[in-house]
Amino acid sequence: MKRLKLFLLISSFSLAATVSAQTPGPQFWRRATCEPYEPRTKLESLDQRYSTIIIKGFTRINTIEVRGIRVDAVEMHEPGQNSTAKGLVIALREGGDRPNDNRAFVDYDEIDPLLGAIDSLSRIDETSTKLTGFEARYQTRGDLELVTFRQTNRGTAVTLTTGICEKAVTTMSLDEFGKFKAMLREAKARVDELR
């Protein structure tokens, strides 16, 4: 009986040691928003600087309009420093009772891949898979997400999404998607004029 008690005592100590060894360390909480700690684009990096002057130049693309979408060609720089960033800002506005604006930054080096992705997404249809439905997705570093999908009985549609926590979403037809691409091309041309 003494051996059984001794065995149970040793077992309980080893079990307690095992349990305490698996206890996690202190929790390091993220800041109150769900935005990432580090900027993911050069434009974001300049936009989020403190205690310095940041000059932003922009040209709004308004020769082509797509409902709920604004595209700006953008250049940012810090005077006296070698900090310059160029690219696009794409803002989506959701309608409803409380309109929600949200934007995504697209650095210059991401513009051509984005235009190529739009070409590819525009060509995807039900022949891309043997299953009934389909969806194709492309996302930039600055949280612009493009999704092409099959709508029931109405063909293919596209959604544009910006943001992480409070997202703004716009649904469009392939024709409107083509106009969006034309807006991006024009904005890129404006940025190219800066070189």
- Cα radius of gyration rounded to whole Å, the chain: 25
Q: What is the pTM of this model?
A: 0.76
- Please report the beta strands in the chain, taking only residues with DSSP state E, as ranges in sequence order: 55-60, 69-77, 84-94, 100-107, 135-139, 144-151, 155-162, 168-172
In tens, the pLDDT along 69-113 reads 999 999 999 988 888 999 999 998 866 555 567 889 999 999 999
CA dist., res. 148 & res. 144, Å (int) = 13
What residues does each domain of the chain span?
42-192
Pick the CATH number of 42-192 from 3.30.2450, 3.40.50, 3.20.16, 3.40.1560: 3.30.2450
Decide: helix, strand or coil at residue 32. Answer: coil
In tens, the pLDDT along 125-169 reads 888 888 878 889 999 998 899 999 887 666 788 999 888 777 888
Residue 11, classified by CB atoms within 10 Å of its CB into exposed (0-12), middle (13-18) or buried (19+), is: exposed
pLDDT(59) > 70: yes
Residue whose tokens read 């991006």:
184
